[in-house]
Amino acid sequence: MLFFNHSSFLTFTLMGIPGLESQHLWLALPFSFMFLAILIGNGAILLLVATEPTLHTPMYLLLALLMVADLISTLALMPKLLCLFWFNDHDITSNACFTQMFFIHGASVVRSALLVAMAFDRFVAVCEPLHYNTILSRTLVGRLGLIALAKGVIIVFPMPLLLQRLTFCHMIIPHTYCDHMAVVKMACDHTRPNRIYGLFVILLVVGLDLLLIGFSYGLILKAVVRLKSQDATFKALNTCSAHFFVIIVTYVPALFSSLIHRIGLNIPPQAHILLANLYLLLPSMLNPIIYGINMKEIRGKMVKCLCRELA
């Protein structure tokens, strides 16, 4: 067995989707469509929030930060993936691999933190509507954004650092990108610290964030139950519907993918790899659609912009 010491000259080979190598060219088509949809959808929302003064409110500013996190995650993943599918470019240097890993996982942590901030925003909007602008000032929104960014950097940065101490005896990664656990499995020495830290990140990010989101929605439901007006109840629930759908789209595939990696469920590898890619891409693609449909302000502004362009 060959052993490779980690260095900046080490090169990994991304296999792509195991068992579907001959279909990579066909798979490039839907992935290219998703990439284009993500760039257009998220870019449109960002442009709308930036250019429309009426959308400079806490809810839409947090939404804009979520779009930025989605774009960073997508731009870290898709260029290399499409080169792999379109041009059979499988090689990636260790430095590029660890950099990709940092931005993909870091953006996911930031996205999760922003969803917690958005749950707090919905809690204040429903439970303290008269004090909404006082509590959620632009200064607080900026601080929440900085906290989310710091959380992503601080939590994910040790991952590539811990990988640098390893010796690798396998160079072919059965994946389309440098997923942390996929790279850890390429090492031939002691990887328990890497595995423990990876599990710690999942528990801290997904577990704690979901707990905070659940707590916020518990308080929201408690407040909604006390409302006597049916219209007020519907309005309160509709206010939270977009955020709730985004939570489902974000966390369910992520949890399922992580469980497969660690528990080793009897699932075909190609299904697992496809799911790992979709859990990164689906939220980024669906978020603009969900918020565009559910938020009448964005829907109205988009229709107005389109009519202005077509006129």
Domain ranges, ordered by start, for the chain: 16-310
Specify the higher pLDDT residue, 164 or 3: 164
pTM for the model: 0.90
Token duo for residue 38: 């993500």
CATH 3.90.550.10 matches 16-310: no
Q: Cα dist. 120→125, 127, 216, 218 in Å?
A: 9, 10, 6, 12
pLDDT of 78 over the 90 cut: yes
Q: Give the model's pLDDT for residue 265.
A: 57
**Tally of CB atoms within 10 A around 232:** 12
Q: Tell me the CA distances in angstroms from 119 to 74, 181, 210, one per residue in order.
A: 23, 29, 10
8: confidence class by pLDDT, cuts 50, 70, 90: low
- pLDDT value at 1 more than 50: no
At residue 65 the predicted structure's pLDDT band, cuts being 50, 70 and 90, is: very high
Q: State which H helix or E strand residue 3 sits in.
A: none
% of the chain exceeding 70 in pLDDT = 88
pLDDT (0 to 100) of residue 64: 93
User: Nearest 5 degrees, angle CA 257-CA 281-CA 8?
Assistant: 80
Q: Is the pLDDT of residue 36 over 80?
A: yes
- Percent of residues, the chain, with pLDDT higher than 90: 41
Supply the pLDDT for residue 143.
95
Cβ within 8 Å of residue 55, ≥6 positions away: 48, 49, 297, 298, 301
